[in-house]
Amino acid sequence: MIDVALAISLHAPNDAVRDEIVPINRKYNIEAFLAGVRRYLAKSNANQGRVTVEYVMLDHVNDSTDDAHQLAEVLKDTPCKINLIPWNPFPGAPYGRSSNSRVDRFSKVLMEYGFTTIVRKTRGDDIDAACGQLAGEVIDRTKRTLKKKMAGEPIKVQTV
């Protein structure tokens, strides 16, 4: 038996939406992906035999109650808990964050189907550093930079 818990990034209730936001879906569609997950779960005793499904909430892209019903149908044969993750918008981002009311309605639909659903707290979004996204000033702290500082030379700061 495998004793390692599994978390997957699903982010969409159907292949049309997932093709757009998770391009690898064009090669491994949702059905194939979840079949692999179920094979893994059959050999795992971790996390009470459930997978954690990560689902980022994108405003008017994958966050409607219809999307929630579709997601419940897609996951009906996959023992799981679902983490709903509010999108962290950043300048120039192609998506917006779902409103709290849309996230709440989405979550309630999933709970009606019996899924354990957790809405993640947003952290770091004030500095563009939430949920795998990082932007801001990076200070080089290498030995070379320390030598420059000690010599009174300016230290370069990069914005990424």
Calculated CA dihedral for residues 134, 56, 86, 78, nearest 10 degrees: -130
Contacts of 14 (CB under 8 A, 6+ apart): 30, 70, 74
- Residue 72 tokens read as 């419940």
- Inter-CA distances, 7 with 37, 55, 148, 153, Å: 9, 11, 44, 47
Residue 1 lies inside a defined structural domain of this protein: no
Instruction: Indicate if 63 and 135 belong to the same structural domain.
Output: no
CB 110 within 8 A of CB 76: no
| pLDDT at residue number 2 | 83
| pLDDT at residue number 152 | 82
- State the pTM of this model: 0.77
| pLDDT at residue number 102 | 98
Instruction: Indicate if 54 and 75 belong to the same structural domain.
Output: yes
| pLDDT at residue number 74 | 98
CB 4 within 8 A of CB 49: no
pLDDT tens, position by position, 111-146 = 999 999 999 987 655 554 544 444 444 455 566 667
What residues make up the domain containing 104?
Answer: 7-122
Q: What is the CATH number of the domain that holds 102?
A: 3.20.20.70
| pLDDT at residue number 145 | 67
| pLDDT at residue number 66 | 99
Could you give the CA distance from residue 28 to residue 154 in angstroms, rounded to a whole number? 50
Instruction: Indicate if 49 and 110 belong to the same structural domain.
Output: yes
Instruction: Indicate if 111 and 133 belong to the same structural domain.
Output: no
Residue 2 lies inside a defined structural domain of this protein: no
Number of domains making up the chain: 2
Spans of the chain, pLDDT less than 70: 123-145, 155-160
